[in-house]
Amino acid sequence: MAARASGERRSVQPVRVTFYIHDESKRICGWDATLTRRRRVRGSLMGYGNGLPHDLAQYVIEAAASYENGFWGLVARGATFESTGRRRTKPGRALIAEHRVDIAGSERLAGAHLSAWKAGRETVATAALDRARAQWCHLAGDRLVFEWPSPLGHVERTTALVP
């Protein structure tokens, strides 16, 4: 399952992507991406079951497969998707239009890797998905933080430790 990202490899400033549980009782989570000190993208809230939330799995798979022209790579380069609530800009819309086929391909890529992972088959994303799943399952009010384009996140403590 090779990544099919069109175009040459582009260098992008690392983008901090944070996944968090918004409402544990209703099983709702969300994400934020910080592009620069003054540019922040608020992702949509979504439900999650016993597995990884869709956007988290998509992030990990795109990063592990070095798929730069999918949703996450384009967010990192300034694409302004309607679903993020950001003001749509002409350059942001142009990025999306230029990579529409790649965006659809990233969904298929994620579906293939997720299916293989759930079936116990090894892919380029397996180790990163295993790690993200373990981190997500033990989040407990904390945040799971990634630096795009790394598929490996770390848990950032947001709760005070009780002695």
Length of the chain: 163
The answer to whether residue 95 sits within a structural domain is: yes
The answer to whether residue 86 sits within a structural domain is: yes
**Structural domains in the chain (count):** 1
| Angle at the Cα of 71 from the Cα atoms of 108 and 68, rounded to 5 degrees | 90
- Cα–Cα distance measured from residue 162 to residue 105, given in angstroms and rounded to the nearest whole number: 46
The answer to whether residue 2 sits within a structural domain is: no
The answer to whether residue 4 sits within a structural domain is: no
Question: Which tens digits make up the pLDDT trace of 16-70?
Answer: 999 999 999 999 999 999 998 778 899 989 999 888 999 999 999 999 999 999 9
Which structural domain range is residue 57 located in? 15-156
The answer to whether residue 162 sits within a structural domain is: no
Question: Which tens digits make up the pLDDT trace of 83-124?
Answer: 876 678 899 999 999 999 999 999 999 999 999 999 999 999
- Cα–Cα distance measured from residue 23 to residue 114, given in angstroms and rounded to the nearest whole number: 25
- Which pTM value belongs to this model? 0.88
